[in-house]
C-alpha cells in the first residue's frame, strides 16, 4: 500500500513530465506515479520533451541524464533558459553515481537526483517535496507580481532563476534574460550589503527553499532633507545650551553647568530662537527633542 506521506494533497493532481528513452523505465514510473495522484506526461527523448513543454508546464520533471541525441544535462540547461519553465524542478534519474556526473546535473539546474534502478518510496518522497515547493514558489511569485515588488531569485551558480517584472525594469541593462547576475549583486548571496546604483537598493531576503537566494530590489530613498536644526547651523556652544533647555534646565542651571552667566545664556538663547525661527523656550525645546530623537 502507498504510504500516506507520499501522496499529494487532497484534490491536487500535480503534473509530472517523465523523460526517458527506456520504455520499461517509463512504464515503471507510470505505475508508481499515477496511483499516487500524479498526472503523468511522457517523452522518449529531449526533442519530444521540448514539444510537450510547448503545450504544458508541469509541476516537476523526472529526467534521464543519459539519452541518445541531446543529453538530459543539455535538455535541463535549455529548460532553465526559458523564463516560463525556469521554476520547474528537475529531478535527474541516473545510473551515474560518480561525483562529476552529479555536479554536472546540479550545474545544469537540477534540484535533485535519484539513482537507477529507482526505488518507489524515494521517488515519491523527493517528487512530492519538490513539486510542493515549486507550486508554493509559483504562487508566491504571482503574489509578488500583483504587489508590484522587485524580487530576484538567484540559483547556486549565480544565474537568474526568476525575476519579477518590476525587478526586471529596475535592472534593465544589467540583466540579459538568463544571464549571470552581476558580481555586485552576487555578493548579496553571502550576506553583504550592496547598493549597486543610486536608483535602487538590494536586500538579501534569505533562501527561497529551492536552493535559491531571494533578493528584494527597492527604489533608493531620495536624499534626506536636512533637519531644521541642521539648517539652523547652531554653534557648538548654542547646541550645548539648547540641549540643556530641552532637558528642562533653567538659565541659572545652564549657566552653572557650562560656567556661564545667566545673561550670557540668555544671549545664546536669543540667537537660537532667531536661527530656529521660534519665539519661545518651549518651542525650541520641542523642536530639539523631536529632531534629536530621530
Q: Which helix H or strand E contains 136, and what residues bound it?
A: helix 120-147
Of 165, 197, 219, the last residue of a domain is 219
pLDDT at 226 over 70: no
Mean pLDDT (whole number) for 239-263: 88
- CATH label of the domain that carries residue 187: 3.30.450
Of residues 192 and 82, the one with the higher pLDDT is 82
- DSSP class of residue 216 equals E
Residues 197 and 267 in one domain: no
For β-strands 15-19 and 90-94, DSSP reports them as unpaired
d(CA 144, CA 236) in angstroms, rounded, equals 49
Residues 96 and 196 in one domain: no
Q: Lowest-pLDDT range, 158-162, 168-172, 180-184, 233-237?
A: 180-184
pLDDT category, 148, cuts 50, 70, 90? low
The predicted structure's pLDDT at residue 30:
93
Mean pLDDT (whole number) for 80-100: 82
- Determine if residue 173 is left, alpha or beta; phi over 0 gives left, psi from -120 to 50 gives alpha, anything else beta: left
Number of domains within the chain: 3
Highest mean pLDDT among 135-139, 143-147, 174-178: 135-139
Tell me which residue range forms the domain holding 20: 4-140
Residues 17 and 48 in one domain: yes
Residues 56 and 85 in one domain: yes
Distances (CA, A) of 179 to 134, 161, 192, 237: 22, 10, 21, 58
The predicted structure's pLDDT at residue 203:
73
Three-state DSSP state, 119: coil
The predicted structure's pLDDT at residue 219:
66
Q: Can you name the residues that pair with 18 across neighbouring β-strands?
A: 42, 62
d(CA 291, CA 287) in angstroms, rounded, equals 6
State the average pLDDT for the chain.
77
pLDDT for 4-17, tens place per residue? 334 444 346 789 99
Mean pLDDT (whole number) for 169-193: 53
Q: Which three cell numbers stand for residue 166?
A: 518590476
Q: Is the torsion defined by CA of 236, 239, 243, 249 positive or negative?
A: positive
The predicted structure's pLDDT at residue 192:
44
pLDDT at 153 over 90: no
Residues 16 and 134 in one domain: yes
pLDDT for 53-79, tens place per residue? 998 889 899 999 888 899 999 999 999
Over its C-alpha atoms, the chain yields an Rg (Å, rounded) of 31
Amino acid at each position: 500500500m502507498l504510504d500516506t506521506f507520499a501522496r499529494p494533497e487532497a484534490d491536487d493532481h500535480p503534473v509530472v513530465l517523465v523523460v526517458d528513452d527506456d520504455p520499461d523505465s517509463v512504464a515503471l514510473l507510470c505505475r508508481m506515479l499515477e496511483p499516487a495522484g500524479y498526472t503523468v506526461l511522457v517523452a522518449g527523448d529531449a526533442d519530444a520533451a521540448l514539444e510537450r513543454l510547448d503545450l504544458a508546464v508541469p509541476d516537476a520533471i523526472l529526467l534521464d541524464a543519459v539519452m541518445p541525441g541531446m543529453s538530459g544535462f543539455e535538455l535541463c540547461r535549455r529548460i532553465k533558459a526559458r523564463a516560463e519553465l525556469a521554476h520547474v524542478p528537475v529531478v535527474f534519474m541516473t545510473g551515474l553515481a560518480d561525483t562529476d556526473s552529479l555536479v554536472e546535473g546540479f550545474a545544469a539546474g537540477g534540484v535533485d537526483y535519484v539513482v537507477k534502478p529507482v526505488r518507489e518510496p524515494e521517488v515519491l518522497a523527493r517528487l512530492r517535496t519538490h513539486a510542493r515547493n515549486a507550486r508554493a514558489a509559483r504562487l508566491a511569485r504571482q503574489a509578488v507580481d500583483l504587489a508590484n515588488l522587485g524580487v530576484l531569485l538567484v540559483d547556486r551558480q549565480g544565474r537568474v532563476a526568476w525575476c519579477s517584472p518590476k525587478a526586471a525594469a529596475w535592472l534593465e541593462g544589467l540583466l540579459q534574460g538568463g544571464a549571470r547576475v552581476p558580481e555586485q549583486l552576487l555578493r548579496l548571496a553571502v550576506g553583504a550589503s550592496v547598493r549597486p546604483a543610486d536608483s535602487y537598493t538590494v536586500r538579501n531576503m534569505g533562501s527561497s527553499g529551492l536552493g535559491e537566494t531571494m533578493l528584494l530590489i527597492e527604489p533608493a530613498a531620495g536624499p534626506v532633507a536636512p533637519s531644521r536644526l541642521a539648517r539652523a547651523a547652531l554653534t557648538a556652544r548654542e547646541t550645548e545650551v539648547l540641549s540643556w533647555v530641552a532637558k528642562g534646565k533653567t538659565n541659572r542651571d545652564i549657566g552653572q553647568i557650562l560656567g556661564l552667566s545667566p545673561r550670557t545664556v540668555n544671549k545664546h538663547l536669543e540667537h537660537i530662537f532667531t536661527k530656529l525661527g521660534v519665539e519661545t523656550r518651549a518651542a525650541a525645546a520641542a523642536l530639539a527633542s523631536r529632531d534629536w530623537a530621530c
